[in-house]
Amino acid sequence: MKHIQTLLLIEAVAKAGSIRKAAEDMHITSSALNRRIQGFEEEFGAPIFERLPRGVRLNPAGELLIQHIRSQVADLERVRSQVADLSGLRRGHVRIACSQALQPYFMPAQIAAYRAEHPGVSFSVHVRDRDEAEEDLRAFKSDLALVFEPAHLGDFDVLLSVEQSVYAVMARDHPLAGKQKLRLRDCLGYPHVVPPQRIGIRYLLDLAVARMSQKMEPIAEADSFEFMRHYVQHERAIGFQFPIGLNLENDDRLVFRALAKTDVAHGNLTLMQMKGRSLSVASARFANQLASTLNSLSNKQDLSDPQT
Amino acid sequence: MKHIQTLLLIEAVAKAGSIRKAAEDMHITSSALNRRIQGFEEEFGAPIFERLPRGVRLNPAGELLIQHIRSQVADLERVRSQVADLSGLRRGHVRIACSQALQPYFMPAQIAAYRAEHPGVSFSVHVRDRDEAEEDLRAFKSDLALVFEPAHLGDFDVLLSVEQSVYAVMARDHPLAGKQKLRLRDCLGYPHVVPPQRIGIRYLLDLAVARMSQKMEPIAEADSFEFMRHYVQHERAIGFQFPIGLNLENDDRLVFRALAKTDVAHGNLTLMQMKGRSLSVASARFANQLASTLNSLSNKQDLSDPQT
DNA sequence: CCTTGTGCTTCTTTTTTTGCATCACTCTTA
DNA sequence: TAAGAGTGATGCAAAAAAAGAAGCACAAGG
């Protein structure tokens, strides 16, 4: 798209922090790029970058403009997707930012199911904690975000939000594996592995522990659930995870026990998009599929989980 | 703005219905314009216009695209307004579509009040009935719309909605001028002047009459409230208007009487914008001013009008 | 005090766009 | 039925715009 080339160049400069670096990235000479930016600033009526001794940086006006640019590029992509859709071919690309917990089971299954019906649609999956996911939406780097306990809901449209209780994860031979009803204080009596603070489940655990006399004393803090899953098989430790990230029925090495809502608040798994933005056909349909899957998942849990 | 030149040309062609006519409007030759469009269609990946023997017309893909173009142009204008705003100068332009009833008193007073504080802001006021106003918003020809009884709220964001009762308008020497409490059936017993069906107040009257045994038999149907105001001074006829279009306290020739809500439903005066669109600084502030004025107006009425 | 990296400028070359004339076609009208 | 007036498309040469190459001035860091 030629008419948007200058805008993309501006974005590249903003990202590189230097005209010369951006020129190299975009495979043109710095003099050409420099002139385009000067030309744009002139017809725009205001400078976009502040010139520093070591390069350039967006000024406030530039920040406003870059937001416009990203939104326009994304919207043009939406139009092209809709056009492709009405001409018959179900093509498109979906970019989704989602929590780590969804990587092993949920997202692969969902994407496979969607692609079974629409083979022309491709996906980008970005593993992001809740803050990063929101940042991705704001910068139009993702179309959708599916994360636990999002922080700043104001800037986004919430397409769906379902509750997930926190589960304790342990080896089959763990002393607590026999107990059907598990309390958080029982878990904290054993060595435990928790994620860092930016992860949603840790946020819920911190809230819960703050009301208790016991303290959290993790033997390991890891931002990989994969690490946690494997670690609890070495030492008799306890980890924590949402059920959507677990193979609840068919795991032959681990045992999972839900913690009561009275002990640890449920997590809100939330599907969001940038406020007011129109999604491409593929993204909108995929969002619908996610929503209906999560809804029926949530209903099933309610039935089988009388604690809720 | 050079980078949207092609987009503006496309819009011009869509409007003119012919490449040659549009070329003349935009002061270029038809061959140049023709090739720009062909070039755009090629990189866009699909035709935008269908070629007819007498010219061109947007195809469905083109309709999608033109909507994107208009939104992009409007959004760029918003960015420039915000940039102008943060660089100190309070400049800008506000385009508002509004009902005829607001022309004599309300809008002039509001705009004057706003310009007293922000002299750099200019205005375009478009008199539109409710359907036309919505069309203006959709085509990004107006930033705001303030109309009675809008029809399709789905596509718009409602910033505010206040009720206005319907008033009967008559000369001071009209037989009904003495009655404090006026019923609709009394009015219909006298010659009456009503607006055509596309006007909100007529819609309310039609609804009311449909529940009655009496029928509406207007001696004149006029789309100008100005006509109505003057006509009722010639013959002893009755007109109808919302109070916001009347000089309730200081009119020495006419008498106004509110009709009870039980007779005629109140009209909803609604301030709207295009769904999800960000307004320019000037438009957003003016919308805020309108909202607060209308709110206090509505509260005042509630106090003085126990029928509500 | 030199080196390195920056944005910017000038001059020349290359690429893109435009204008003109013309073609092929359709519908209207005499 | 034939002429005329409208349409979009196209080939070619001229004009305009953009890009490339080289170098300048400036500031920071060793």
Architecture of domain A2-66: Orthogonal Bundle (1.10)
Q: Which of B125, B131, B206, B165 is nearest to B304 (CA)?
A: B165
Residue percentage of chain A with pLDDT more than 70: 96
Nearest residue (Cα to C1') for D11?
A: B31
Q: Which of A160, A149, A214, A144 is nearest to A184 (CA)?
A: A214
Give the integer Cα–Cα distance in Å for A184 and A189: 9
Separation in Å, CA of A4 to nearest CA in chain B: 7
CATH number of A90-161+268-304: 3.40.190.10
pLDDT at B227: 87
Beta strands (DSSP E) in B6-143 are 49-52, 55-58, 92-98, 121-127
pLDDT at B304: 54
Q: Is the pLDDT of residue B302 over 70?
A: no
- Average pLDDT, integer, range A95-103: 93
Give the integer Cα–Cα distance in Å for A15 and A93: 23
A82 contacts B3? CB cut-off 8 A: no
Separation in Å, CA of A80 to nearest CA in chain B: 8
Separation in Å, CA of A47 to nearest CA in chain B: 10
pLDDT band of B252, cuts 50, 70, 90: confident
Q: Do domains B90-160+268-304 and B167-265 have the same CATH topology?
A: yes
- Average pLDDT, integer, range B132-138: 93
Q: Which of B219, B282, B255, B247 is nearest to B101 (CA)?
A: B247
pLDDT at B301: 65
- Average pLDDT, integer, range B65-93: 90
pLDDT at B86: 86
Q: Other CB atoms closer than 10 Å to residue A204's CB: what's the count?
A: 23
- Average pLDDT, integer, range B189-202: 91
CATH superfamily of A167-265: Periplasmic binding protein-like II (3.40.190.10)
Q: What is the mean pLDDT of chain A?
A: 91
Give the integer Cα–Cα distance in Å for B169 and B246: 9
How many residues does this entry show for chain B? 308
A7 contacts B3? CB cut-off 8 A: yes
Asked if B38 has any chain A CB less than 8 Å from its own CB, the reply is no
pLDDT band of B308, cuts 50, 70, 90: very low
pLDDT band of A306, cuts 50, 70, 90: very low
**Token output for A282:** 């593929």
Q: Is the pLDDT of residue B214 over 90?
A: no
Return the residue in B43, B64, B83 with the most chain A beta carbons within 10 A, the one to mutate for interface testing: B83
Positions of strand C less than 7 angstroms from a protein CB: 5-10, 17-21, 25-27
State the burial class of residue B83 (Cβ atoms within 10 Å of its Cβ: 0-12, 13-18, 19+): buried
- Average pLDDT, integer, range A185-212: 92
**B4 closest CB neighbour out of A3, A61, A83:** A3
Residues A244-289: tens digit of each pLDDT: 999 988 888 899 999 999 999 999 999 999 988 889 999 999 999 9
B1 contacts A3? CB cut-off 8 A: no
**A276 closest CB neighbour out of B4, B39, B276:** B276
B45 contacts A83? CB cut-off 8 A: yes
CB A260 within 8 A of CB A183: yes
**B7 closest CB neighbour out of A3, A78, A84:** A3
Architecture of domain B90-160+268-304: 3-Layer(aba) Sandwich (3.40)
Q: What residues does each domain of chain B span?
A: 2-66, 90-160+268-304, 167-265
DSSP helix/strand/coil, B224: coil
Give the integer Cα–Cα distance in Å for B132 and A181: 64
Q: pTM of the full predicted structure? A: 0.82
Give the integer Cα–Cα distance in Å for A129 and A126: 10
pLDDT at A302: 59
Asked if A61 has any chain B CB less than 8 Å from its own CB, the reply is yes
pLDDT at A208: 94
- Residue A88 CB lies within 7 Å of the nucleic strand D: no
- Average pLDDT, integer, range B236-254: 91
Q: What is the mean pLDDT of chain B?
A: 91
Separation in Å, CA of A6 to nearest CA in chain B: 7
Residues A103-161: tens digit of each pLDDT: 989 999 999 999 999 988 999 999 999 899 999 999 999 999 999 999 888 889 999 99
| Interatomic distance A234 CA / D21 C1' (Å) | 64
pLDDT at B155: 86
